[in-house]
Structure 1
Amino acid sequence: MNETLVTVVGNVATTPVFRELPSGPVARFRLAVTARYYDAVQNVWADGHTNFFTVWARRALGSNVQGSLTIGEPVIVQGKLKVRDEERGGQHWTSADIDAMTIGHDLSRGTAAFRRVLKANAALTDPAAAREPVLEPEPEPEPVG
């Protein structure tokens, strides 16, 4: 109920790792988020600190991540932030994970071509669902006045 929802913009830092688990498909990758600031003394934009997040994508989102993302691509990730503080083998570490609800390419930095994924169950029950959709021509605009 009191989840910390975040939206982060950054670059895919590692190749997405995809696994089929008993609970369903899961993909994870690291996201690099670098702050930018204007350096008035040098009159240039400069890079600030880089934060790294582990992004977890489950079910259909995980399957789509596997076929859509590669290292270096700019993305926008929205999801639940989970900060973990752990100790293993005498070493203390903190990690920031995002349980993603949605992921998309950052179109302010490039273009993308969307491909709709057909659900496997729809293709089994309705053979028409397995075919490419038929696009209807747009109607002619009505004359004004």
Structure 2
Amino acid sequence: MNETIICAVGNVATQPVYRELPTGPSARFRLAVTSRYLDRGKNEWTDGHTNFFTVWANRQLATNAAASLNVGDPVVVQGRLKVRTDVREGQNWTSADIDALAIGHDLARGTAAFRRAPRPDAMAAATAPAQPGPEPDWETPPADADRQPAQEPAMVT
């Protein structure tokens, strides 16, 4: 609907906090996003202003984020931006939160090894295991000189 979806690239600023809630797992962490620009006078890259976001993850994303992220990790976060304002003790207070849809390590700044998470027990029990089908032939056939060219299909008249 009318939501602001953003993609933020930055570093994990706080260790993810994981909680089991009645509605399911939840995790949150702070994300530091620092802009960089080329200072033409000095002819060097310079750090600009740093924005901090609180990233909220739910369900399986929360479980995986808590198990995978550490302070300082470069990440890419996509989600819904929520800007909230409040008055606390006479002071105006503003927070920028991201309800995460996806979180991943930034592979432009390092490598990662992906491990598929096991399915939650509730989901595994609710669905019967599928019977394995024949394994597809993913191999590319060798280029043989004596191979026959493919026949064109006959036209039906």
Question: What is the TM-score with the length of structure 2 in the denominator?
Answer: 0.81
- Cα distance in 1 between the residues matched to 2:126 and 2:80: 35
**Which digits, 9 at most, give the CA deviation of each residue in 1:30-75, with x for residues without a partner?**
0000000000111100000000000000010000011000000000
Larger radius of gyration: 2
Partner of 1:21: 21
Q: How does 1:97-112 map to 2 (within 5 A)?
A: 97-112=97-112
Partner of 1:55: 55
Distance 1:144 1:11, change over 3 A: farther
Paired amino acid for 1:81: L
Q: Structure 1 residue 79: deviation in Å?
A: 0.2
Any unmatched runs of 5+ in structure 2?
A: 146-157
For the pair 1:121 / 2:156, whether they are aligned, the reply is no
Paired amino acid for 1:121: A
Identical columns (%) = 60
Question: What is the TM-score with the length of structure 1 in the denominator?
Answer: 0.87
- Cα distance in 2 between the residues matched to 1:53 and 1:118: 29
Q: Structure 1 residue 84: deviation in Å?
A: 0.3
For the pair 1:78 / 2:82, whether they are aligned, the reply is no
Distance 1:73 1:136, change over 3 A: farther
Partner of 1:9: 9
Paired amino acid for 1:17: V
Count, aligned residues: 140
Q: Structure 1 residue 123: deviation in Å?
A: 4.9
**Which digits, 9 at most, give the CA deviation of each residue in 1:56-100, with x for residues without a partner?**
000100000110000000000000000000112222210000000
Any unmatched runs of 5+ in structure 1?
A: 130-134
RMSD between aligned residues? 2.2
Distance 1:94 1:33, change over 3 A: same
Partner of 1:132: none
